[in-house]
Amino acid sequence: MQKELTTPIQSWAQSASAPLWLRSAGIVVVGSGLVAACAHLALPLWFSPVPLTLQTFAVLLLGLVLPPRLAAATLLAYLVEGTVGLPFFAPSPATGGLAHLLGPTGGYLLAYPAAALLTSWLARRGQRRFIRSLASAFLGSLVILASGSLWLAALTHAPLRSILTLAVLPFLPGDALKVAAAAAASAAFQRLRRKAADSHPTL
């Protein structure tokens, strides 16, 4: 079953001579770098302190292609890297680092490890199918939206209607597209893995 869930990156890593911890560290570095790159593909919204970014897509994709603990570790590493001052968070008026993490988008960011963990765990509860990946990513996206809106509500003391307008409703169409894109990309990874396994049966 574990081999069935292995991505092409993991298949390559398993065949490498490096120790397991080093291979895992490499995946964490590459994965957190992917989230950082997606964070800078941002579109500020004039009516909300929360910009539109591709971060959610990256978080959900990592949840679908990595095992639960490795997916969570990758997103934890991303938060640590951004907190210490690396330019990993989305551009914003915040000064960066910890100030960014404690700002209006902090709830979304802090939810990333849990969302990736949940997405990965749900996606592996049975035989891998596109619909299962889609549902798993959808629930992971809900975790991010819920955490982000609750954080913003606590930070601003705004009424529920305002929070929905600022932190939830504007992002639903885009998040639906990100969920579908993450599930499709995960399915493509699985196809590549199967082809790689057919070509190199020892992997």
Residue ranges in the chain modelled with pLDDT below 70? 1-18, 92-96, 197-198, 200-203
Model pLDDT, residue 1: 45
Name the β-bridge partners of 52.
43
Distance from C-alpha of 165 to C-alpha of 89, rounded to nearest angstrom: 23
Percent of the chain with pLDDT over 90: 57
CB neighbourhood size of 125 (10 A)? 8
Name, in order, each residue with C-beta under 8 angstroms of 33's C-beta and a sequence gap of 6 or more: none
Can you read off the two tokens belonging to residue 92? 């914003």
Model pLDDT, residue 128: 76
Model pLDDT, residue 201: 58
Domains of the chain (ranges plus CATH)? 3-199 (1.10.1760.20)
pTM of the model: 0.85
Distance from C-alpha of 108 to C-alpha of 157, rounded to nearest angstrom: 17
Model pLDDT, residue 112: 98
Model pLDDT, residue 203: 47
CA distances from 29 to 17, 52, 77, 81 (A): 18, 24, 8, 10
Q: Is the Cβ–Cβ distance between 200 and 14 less than 8 Å?
A: no
Can you read off the two tokens belonging to residue 129? 């199918």
Model pLDDT, residue 14: 53
Model pLDDT, residue 7: 52
Distance from C-alpha of 164 to C-alpha of 84, rounded to nearest angstrom: 31
Model pLDDT, residue 10: 53
CB neighbourhood size of 109 (10 A)? 28
